Amino acid sequence: MPLQAGLLEILACPACHSALEERDSELICTGQDCGLAYPVRDGIPVLLVDEARRPE
């Protein structure tokens, strides 16, 4: 389910403050050294570092 228009423009990675991009049901950090994947549950981004998945 796509996020509300304009929401990605104001959201940033809590770990490194880089921009996020939406892929499937996750928000992926675009930072070169970070790359954390944050889940989106029921259309709500869960931007908690403890809930993020490390890149594989």
**Confidence grade of residue 1 (pLDDT, cut at 50, 70, 90):** low
Quick check: helix, strand or coil at residue 50? Answer: helix
CB 3 within 8 A of CB 22: yes
Q: Dig out the tokens for 21 from the structure.
A: 């991009």
Query: How many independent structural domains does the chain possess?
Result: 1
Is 4 within the bounds of a domain? no
Note the Cα 17 to chain centre separation in Å. Answer: 11
For residue 53, give both structure tokens.
């998945």
pTM for the model stands at 0.87
11-55 residue pLDDT tens? 999 999 999 999 989 999 999 889 999 999 998 999 999 999 997
Cα-based angle 18, 24, 29 (whole degrees, multiple of 5): 10
User: Greatest CA separation found in the chain?
Assistant: 29
**Domain CATH code at residue 49:** 2.20.25.10
In a domain, 26, yes or no: yes
